[in-house]
Amino acid sequence: MRRTGSAALAALALAAVAGGATAQEAVFDHFVYRGTDAAHQGAEPTADQYRNPILQGFYPDPSITRVGDDYYLVTSTFAYFPGIPVFHSRDLVSWTQIGNAIDRPDQLDFGTLGLSRGVFAPTIEHRDGTFYILNTCVDCGDNFLITASGPAGPWSDPVWLPDLKGGIDPGLFFDTDGSAWIVNNGPPEGTPRYEGHRAIWIQRFDPVGKKTVGPRKVLVDGGVDPSTNPIWIEGPHLIRKGDWYYLVCAEGGTAEGHSQVVLRSRKPDGPYEPWSGNPILTQRDLPRDRPNPITSAGHADLVQLPDGAWAATFLAVRPYEGDFYNTGRETFLLPVDWSGDWPVILKRGEAIPYVGQRPNLPAQPAPDVPTSGDFEVVDAFDGPALPPYWMMLRNPREAWFDLDSHPGALTLKARPVGLGDNANPSFLARRQQHQNAQAQTVLRAAPTREGDRAGLAVLQSDDYWYALSVVRQDGRAIVELRRRAGPDQASGGELLASRPLAGEGPIRFRIAGRGDAYDFAVAQGDGDWSTVLAGADGTLLSTRTAGGFVGAVFGPFAQSAF
């Protein structure tokens, strides 16, 4: 059970109380998430081992930095708010979210962007008492810098970096001589030769003036072997080891062809030579029919440990069939073999292990909120704020939830904003973190106007979701299951099943995912569960079907008819 949370979400909740409660509200007593994965069975880590992924669920594009004995990690959140979760660890295995870097609605404006736009691939670094995050707000302002004196924030308003216009994935590097550099993905010089033709650029950075300075220069045009027309060289990070500068980048796109490559130079601004043994990480050459596969690995960041060893965090996915996965791109950890002249995360042909040897760091206690393995998390809604892992679709423009109107419960204001409206509905979400996952909540009080509804949803994007709710219809309470299975459907989705609600007492909702199938059930008071629909198509919540870069989320919602 988690009792601390985001300052931004707490402020919004207090604003809701100050503004007065509305009669059209939904009150949820608690929320339970639990999940298991087949790959965890029979592979329990020993005391000197850890389990992959280290951050299960939709936590892509990890960037990591070390400050003394502490490690900090950030990931992408696209058009979800709060954005850019900040995690802390001292052993690279036990991670605790300590905040969100984008936690004020006026920092960035996601407007009506698709959920897979917004903030892409942040980089976190530290220098002389200041934490830096560089990031791109795609379709909402381009590249920017935010800073903080502590990793938990508060983080500054964005400082925009206009020289990087049209690029993504900015990475920050501080050299031993005090100089600073930004590397990023950007359009190539001249006309692109093919779809996915990109380049890696470098430019000096002034950390005092918080701006780029001097000329920009291309370090990599296309990829490590331009003759093959490589696609999407991106996610660059610059590392110094001895007298060499190593440029590590993702290449091949973020699907099954994803990989990590490395180049090196005697100077930070090149010229760079690629390693003949590239890629240093990929799973694209493994059999697709292997059991419990991990695929699409890349977008790595490297960090050095106190004993001189190196480790890498990176993204990968866990399909339940083919290239179908609903948990999004997750964060994994592996040691880096730097016994030779080049870093190697994983030898070609080797599978990413679900269980690995712990880094040579003092083991830390398990986090209060688990991020890896089979687990259950109960949100009792009895604290001053929501935990920082709760999110909403895009920036809020008004206060529509609180934890104080009904102590020990979450209150959502029913508004005429739906899950398919490309807006900010009264919907709070937490990630699906397992292939076999279950979300359950209790609706104590529902909106009372005709056409109003409240319940539990599982959502991949505005266009792909299921919503199980109680709705007022002809003066009666009706249970409905609705689905939206693509942008061509009406924003309110289609009705799959409905039934009158009999009996009295709070309404319990349950959604259970079983790989490619989802089951929906309700109960009332202390009554038994009743199945509304079993075996619904779960592939529509997959990245393969719905597209984008996010994963499925569960959460309570409320909506008014007008």
Residue 475's pLDDT band (cuts 50, 70, 90):
confident
537 in active site: no
If we measure between CA atoms, which residue out of 198, 170, 342 comes closest to residue 265? 342
**Percent of the chain with pLDDT strictly greater than 90:** 91
What does the pLDDT look like over 38-69, one tens digit per residue? 998 877 899 999 999 999 999 999 999 999 99
Give the pLDDT of residue 504: 75
Q: Which of 294, 323, 357 is the last residue of a domain?
A: 357
Give the number of domains in the chain: 2
One of 37, 61, 463, 480 is an active-site residue; which one? 61
Residue 37 lies in a domain: no
If we measure between CA atoms, which residue out of 239, 223, 130 comes closest to residue 185? 223
One of 234, 301, 452, 516 is an active-site residue; which one? 234
61 in active site: yes
7 pLDDT exceeds 60?
no
If we measure between CA atoms, which residue out of 190, 260, 191, 255 comes closest to residue 223? 260
Answer for the pair 394, 110: CB distance below 8 angstroms, yes or no.
yes
- Residue type, position 341, single letter: D
Give the pLDDT of residue 447: 83
Tell me what the mean pLDDT of segment 479-491 comes to. 97
Joined together, the tokens standing for residue 92 give 């690279």
Tell me what the mean pLDDT of segment 407-420 comes to. 96
How far is Cα 45 from Cα 263, in angstroms, rounded to an integer? 34
Give the pLDDT of residue 208: 95
Residue 70: alpha-carbon gap to chain centroid: 22
Give the pLDDT of residue 47: 93
Residues 169 and 236 in one domain: yes
What does the pLDDT look like over 72-84, one tens digit per residue? 999 999 999 999 9
- Tell me the CA distances in angstroms from 150 to 94, 147, 155, one per residue in order: 20, 9, 8
Residue tagged 């493994």 (tokens):
286
Residues 121 and 25 in one domain: no
> What's the pTM?
0.95
How far is Cα 69 from Cα 361, in angstroms, rounded to an integer? 9
Phi, psi of 227 (to 5 degrees): -65, -20
Residue 191 lies in a domain: yes
Residues 269 and 127 in one domain: yes
Which residue range forms the structural domain that includes residue 123? Answer: 52-357
Helix or strand (DSSP H, E) at 543: helix 543-546
Residues 326 and 402 in one domain: no
Joined together, the tokens standing for residue 76 give 């992408």
Joined together, the tokens standing for residue 195 give 């779809």
CATH of the domain at 260: 2.115.10.20
Residue 36 lies in a domain: no
> What is the C-alpha R_g of the chain?
23
Average of per-residue pLDDT values in the chain: 94
The DSSP annotation for 454-502 comes to EEEEEEEETTEEEEEEEEEETTEEEEEEEEEESTTS-TT-EEEEEEE--
CATH of the domain at 514: 2.60.120.200
How far is Cα 1 from Cα 62, in angstroms, rounded to an integer? 26
Give the pLDDT of residue 379: 97
Residues 186 and 295 in one domain: yes
Strand order through the sheet with 295-304: 295-304, 310-317, 330-336
If we measure between CA atoms, which residue out of 307, 393, 358 comes closest to residue 77? 393
Residues 450 and 330 in one domain: no
Residue 147 lies in a domain: yes
Tell me what the mean pLDDT of segment 160-175 comes to. 97
Give the pLDDT of residue 23: 52
Residues 84 and 182 in one domain: yes
22 pLDDT exceeds 70?
no
Tell me what the mean pLDDT of segment 396-420 comes to. 96
Give the pLDDT of residue 15: 32
Rounded-to-5 percentages of helix, strand, coil across the chain: 5, 45, 50
Give the pLDDT of residue 474: 87
CB under 8 A, 24+ apart: contacts of 480-486: 480/453, 481/520, 481/532, 481/533, 481/536, 483/536, 483/540, 484/419, 484/420, 485/537, 485/540, 486/540
- Residue type, position 212, single letter: T
Helix (H, G, I), strand (E, B) or coil at 89: strand
What does the pLDDT look like over 307-328, one tens digit per residue? 999 999 999 999 999 999 999 9
Give the pLDDT of residue 43: 77
If we measure between CA atoms, which residue out of 385, 393, 558 comes closest to residue 468? 558
